[in-house]
Structure 1
């Protein structure tokens, strides 16, 4: 009984104690710092994860960014943390012993690595050095019937735009006349791809409309301000690599891309090198050499616009008359014209055009529709209104398919008798009917065969129905053969046949022989020529022509130099000999002087070597000439808005010359120039021997200050130190045994020895 009471008492005591014991705390969140692998590839990162209170691991969104993963693809953008088990397509294995985690991420959760399918120059920010250019081409016929024609272009440019004017001056005993061609101010903005032109211009047009010369204002989209931009729908190929791999892309059997990619998805954008039907082969090789090949058919039409791109042009002004014969002949009534192209998708491009003036309105709608891999259909419908004689319509329908082996181009246009546009107002009759069929076949061995059928009908012009055949072949040894024949079914006399054999030989010599017959006229032409080197030099050409027994012989010589091109031509026909001279070049006003140069194209650079002449100048690593005595050379024909490599060759500089750089990437604006300086300095330096007041070499390691240049150096062994930027009188300061010390010495340039050894000079006490 006693044992029963003792047990009851113990149970009550224990119950009271347990009742007073607090409850166990809830499980706490545990921090884990784990080494991370991603799809079997070590990342080299140790990241923070958490575990608890719920099952599974949690990760911060920042971890995704550290792993170059996009949180938006995981659906956790804007969050701080997320549970790994809640993400579809994400798996993991947690190794507690090794404190590591292996993540497995599906391709759908990884942003593909973007690669470019073509190599292009990188566009840059264009710079402009204000200046002016006068391009000229003077052609003079010598002898009794002497005459001269001077074609010219005057151009002024600065950061705001370009003002340009062109014309021709004719001088002879019967005629002295100057005719202005075009005068306009152009402003282009590479950021918006827009340009404004005020003055003479050419109106916008589409494949089913006409363009006209006008005087007025034009606002348009200028894709040429970004030469690296593909405006047509370019192919994009995608793939995935399980491990880091090498990727090769072949277009029609020609390799376009060879690069390495990390594991995961990738995409190759802007696949170029194809127009029409083609075949793309994507080959992925892993480090073990295993290859996976995928072949896809492609079809690209460069006439279309990529999805989302818009091309437009708007003009307002007056029509121009008698171009090239009258300088200022414009219509009085204002006219307007506008064109718009929009890529609605990569398979559909929409076109809209409208114009009007002098009681005439014209408008139309067109489209280009890609039929998958089967070609492109084009169609347009336009109408005109005004008085009864100007009311009408025009319709066009076409189809084009291009492939490496076969191509077909079909086009048909019909317009009613009353259909009119702005060209009709100036008496330029429009086409009433036009049909075109072009068939081309690529044969084996570099041969080609073509057939063309053309039917034309227009007011005031005899109708034509022409059938043409063409054949071409590459024969080897640099020889090329071509033959063609045509006949007009509506005019039996309009027929002809032609043969030509041409080739290129060593030292850039070309030769050609052609023979033909057209409208009962037989002709034979033999030509032998060699162009001048781009870097400068002589070129020549010989030619003989025989037409039904009447012969013409001519010989031409050309010299291309830094300051332009000079050519001479001698002709003999019918027992009479004539000769002519042609001089072409440019005068450039930049950097405070006038510089003679070759004719200047869309962009150029004026290279300056700061007065040092005879320095070779390189364009894309090819010598183009040498600087003049004043130290200048103009480099013409650079690509606007792209990086152009311009440099100098320092190998011919004297030993005492010093340059900071030998090359630069130059980005000119359109029709403008850039001043590029390569300062060439004289190297004034010497090894100077320094002694103390007792005549002993100074201790190595002492710091020396060159007072004139402010540069500091140290004393080497035997009291020798190197001093640069020497002046006729120089001062050196240093501390010797805690006391200031001053050295004064003179320097005179030593010809043929740019770095002489001079001294010794004693260090004397002083400030």
Structure 2
């Protein structure tokens, strides 16, 4: 016992001595960049904050010879870019060695405060474009027939019907269009275009097999062909800005609100955290202007920065390419022949954004012993506009065919009715030349106060393209000049000049001048004049005054003189409402001292549009009737609709008379089958549809009243808003003694599993009822049951059933 007693005393003394040897230190605030003493553990787990904002993370650090060391993974965890720190290829680094980084290590709280310069922080990115977002497109298989009929009544009767057949599914869309004419004893049908189209919005590529218009540039001509076309299609991504736009950067000391103004108009607003930020995709500008970014903190202090901009939508963003490749045969006689394919040909166009200031172009085509190719560029001169230039050459090993009479501009179709310059047989004299060249120079500046557009094209006598091989040669010279002046916010003045020099015809030079004035409250004045500088007898002067009333009625008065012929016209029009209804137009006046009048009435409905027009001149009168619409087969139903564009939706409710709203505008009501077709939606973009349930019966419900749909091009998509009828009732539950069940008592519907509670007077609302129903009332251990039958009422009011006694054993009614 004595030995144990002495051992106990020695242990107490030793413990007391250890306690006395350890000094008690008061907490000392940590100094900046002061690591723990060398004897501290090598690994530290610290709570990290960046520029005063807690990260909410505890990360691992190590004590190094010169301070704290961090892993590169820590930077990634904090949302920082190791490349900005210069340590992308390392595993660890010393905090002391990073320029622009300061830190404060709090040894007491085990916290690490990082203070980073803006150069070390990735900017907070903002997308300022307020356009409609794109979405994965969908399609519901179906058939479509578009029709547009015109009938001329009276002695000279004539009937023309345009039609387009369309089939669409997940594999693509097939379309075929044509025109049927009947005049007197003549009857004929002309096929226009037939093709199969498949598009991929992910890669922005389109494949078209059949008839198409070839790709072209500003200095080349488009061709109608039959074959295969493969091209880049930016329309599949309506949210994508394809042209170069500047990005505005800045830094916010504290979190605040950012506002973007383009030419003084606010375009975008968003909250930004502290630190650097960058605003990208600044839209709403074409030409010269300026963008201003304003940041405001919680106290209202504002900091602004302004940047001059110049945007040209013809250019491509850096690294972006646009192309089209066609292989097939040129088409002749479009509009007069159904199958006029002749000359095998190949065509290719390419554009590439080399830099924000430079876009490169190239085009080539070959066929019929002719080869044509060239290149061009668009070069932005800072804020001074865009310069364009192109040089092309051609070579043909055989003489070109005789020239076919044609007109200026348009798409070359080989019929001699669309593109190229009208020439006589003398045009064939240039065909003997084996080659030639074409040079195009242009300049464009678009500003807030004035705009200038210049383009001049010169071609040598031997230059030719595939249109020339079809009998429509290129112009030997063409000039275009346009000058627009904004005299004030309500006045503008424009001057235009156009010149064309065919090979074997006199040159044409036309100058035009126009002035417009908006006098407010819907009143508008326009004055225009033109003159042929080669023929002084060809000239004209026109005045126009119009006024728009609040009820969609527009009144206009015009007077003019062209080539010595005077005209005076007065008109009053009202367009049909977008949701449907009647419209009308009245016109009266004189042309060359001959009285003219015109009256028209229109009706726009869910199934299409009809119009009746009567015209009178010099005692003679003509009357015509036109109608347009569509038939659509989708979702097992066939219905009539308005003429359908490139994308549409079929709204299905299952109930007739439900109003349908497209982009906050009522477009119509569902028909007897509960369907309504919404035409002319934007393909590959989110289109907002909704139904108005205010007029539905009280015993129906709609799980969703809004939907966003994105149809494919030439296709439709089903937008289902299933309207369901309630199978519900208010059930009155009593206890076994006939008194109401207590408020709040739980209730479970055995058949559906739905749970609810007892309300006042023993009432409870039960949904999803069947013919036979059972309720379990009360908590486990103190439950009762009741049974009842349900029959849907004839009216729309929800029925009240009971009272039913709730019995502990199986029973009830």
Normalising by structure 2, report the TM-score: 0.87
Q: 1:126 aligns with which of 122, 137, 142?
A: 137
For the pair 1:279 / 2:290, whether they are aligned, the reply is yes
| CA distance in 2 between partners of 1:50 and 1:202 (Å) | 65
Q: 1:652 aligns with which of 680, 695, 701?
A: 695
Equivalent pairs counted in the alignment come to 740
* Cα displacement (A) at 1:247: 1.9
The answer to whether the 8 A contact 1:420-1:430 is kept is yes
CA offsets per residue over residues 476-531 of structure 1, 9 Å max, x none? 23222221222222212111112212221211111222222121111222221111
| CA distance in 1 between partners of 2:302 and 2:737 (Å) | 79
* Cα displacement (A) at 1:369: 0.8
Partner of 1:217: 228
The answer to whether the 8 A contact 2:153-2:622 is kept is yes
* Cα displacement (A) at 1:78: 5.9
1:2-81 correspondence to structure 2 within 5 Å: 27-29=39-41, 32=44, 34=46, 36-39=48-51, 41-43=52-54, 45=56, 47-48=58-59, 50=61, 52-77=63-88, 79-81=90-92
Partner of 1:629: 672
For the pair 1:676 / 2:676, whether they are aligned, the reply is no
Partner of 1:383: 393
**Alpha carbons of structure 1 residues 489 and 31: separation in structure 2 relative to 1, 3 Å:** same
CA offsets per residue over residues 422-461 of structure 1, 9 Å max, x none? 0011111211011222222211252112222332101343
* Cα displacement (A) at 1:38: 2.7
CA offsets per residue over residues 191-245 of structure 1, 9 Å max, x none? 1100011111101110000001111110000000001111111121111112112
CA offsets per residue over residues 591-623 of structure 1, 9 Å max, x none? 11111111111111111112x111111111211
The answer to whether the 8 A contact 1:319-1:330 is kept is yes
CA offsets per residue over residues 619-678 of structure 1, 9 Å max, x none? 112111111111111111111111111110010000011110100111111111011111
Partner of 1:539: 583
Partner of 2:508: 464
Partner of 2:256: 245
| CA distance in 1 between partners of 2:64 and 2:229 (Å) | 69
The answer to whether the 8 A contact 2:167-2:174 is kept is yes
**Alpha carbons of structure 1 residues 697 and 218: separation in structure 2 relative to 1, 3 Å:** same
For the pair 1:137 / 2:148, whether they are aligned, the reply is yes
* Cα displacement (A) at 1:732: 3.5
* Cα displacement (A) at 1:713: 4.0
Partner of 2:360: 350
The answer to whether the 8 A contact 1:28-1:53 is kept is no
Supply the RMSD in Å over aligned alpha carbons: 2.3
For the pair 1:317 / 2:328, whether they are aligned, the reply is yes
Partner of 1:174: 185
1:366-445 correspondence to structure 2 within 5 Å: 366-387=376-397, 388-445=432-489
Partner of 2:646: 602
For the pair 1:336 / 2:380, whether they are aligned, the reply is no
* Cα displacement (A) at 1:47: 3.1
For the pair 1:361 / 2:371, whether they are aligned, the reply is yes
Q: 1:289 aligns with which of 300, 306, 320?
A: 300
* Cα displacement (A) at 1:308: 0.4
Partner of 1:7: none
**Alpha carbons of structure 1 residues 259 and 706: separation in structure 2 relative to 1, 3 Å:** closer
CA offsets per residue over residues 248-294 of structure 1, 9 Å max, x none? 22211111122221111111111111111112222222333222222
**Alpha carbons of structure 1 residues 732 and 99: separation in structure 2 relative to 1, 3 Å:** closer
The answer to whether the 8 A contact 1:151-1:167 is kept is yes
Q: Matched residue of 1:629: which SS? A: coil
CA offsets per residue over residues 307-355 of structure 1, 9 Å max, x none? 1010000111111111111111111x31110000011111111111000
Unaligned segments of structure 1, at least 5 residues? 1-24
Partner of 1:203: 214
**Alpha carbons of structure 1 residues 207 and 730: separation in structure 2 relative to 1, 3 Å:** same
| CA distance in 2 between partners of 1:470 and 1:738 (Å) | 90
Partner of 1:116: 127
1:604-623 correspondence to structure 2 within 5 Å: 604-610=648-654, 612-623=655-666
**Alpha carbons of structure 1 residues 141 and 758: separation in structure 2 relative to 1, 3 Å:** farther
**Alpha carbons of structure 1 residues 91 and 469: separation in structure 2 relative to 1, 3 Å:** same
The answer to whether the 8 A contact 1:196-1:217 is kept is yes
| CA distance in 1 between partners of 2:792 and 2:310 (Å) | 72
Partner of 2:499: 455
* Cα displacement (A) at 1:710: 3.9
Q: 2:595 aligns with which of 545, 551, 557?
A: 551
Q: Matched residue of 2:694: which SS? A: helix
Normalising by structure 1, report the TM-score: 0.92
Q: Which structure has more strand as a fraction of its residues?
A: 1
My pick for the range that moved more, 309-318 or 438-447, is 438-447
1:462-501 correspondence to structure 2 within 5 Å: 462-501=506-545
Partner of 2:765: 722
The answer to whether the 8 A contact 1:138-1:150 is kept is yes
The answer to whether the 8 A contact 1:704-1:712 is kept is yes
Q: 1:229 aligns with which of 213, 232, 240?
A: 240
Partner of 2:104: 93
* Cα displacement (A) at 1:35: 5.0
* Cα displacement (A) at 1:687: 2.0
CA offsets per residue over residues 126-146 of structure 1, 9 Å max, x none? 110000111111111222222
**Alpha carbons of structure 1 residues 730 and 26: separation in structure 2 relative to 1, 3 Å:** closer
My pick for the range that moved more, 85-94 or 424-433, is 85-94
Partner of 2:404: none
My pick for the range that moved more, 564-573 or 277-286, is 277-286
The answer to whether the 8 A contact 2:735-2:807 is kept is yes
| CA distance in 1 between partners of 2:389 and 2:119 (Å) | 40
**Alpha carbons of structure 1 residues 755 and 643: separation in structure 2 relative to 1, 3 Å:** farther
| CA distance in 2 between partners of 1:292 and 1:739 (Å) | 69
Unaligned segments of structure 2, at least 5 residues? 1-36, 398-431
| CA distance in 1 between partners of 2:350 and 2:581 (Å) | 47
The answer to whether the 8 A contact 1:447-1:474 is kept is yes
Q: Matched residue of 2:507: which SS? A: strand
* Cα displacement (A) at 1:74: 1.8
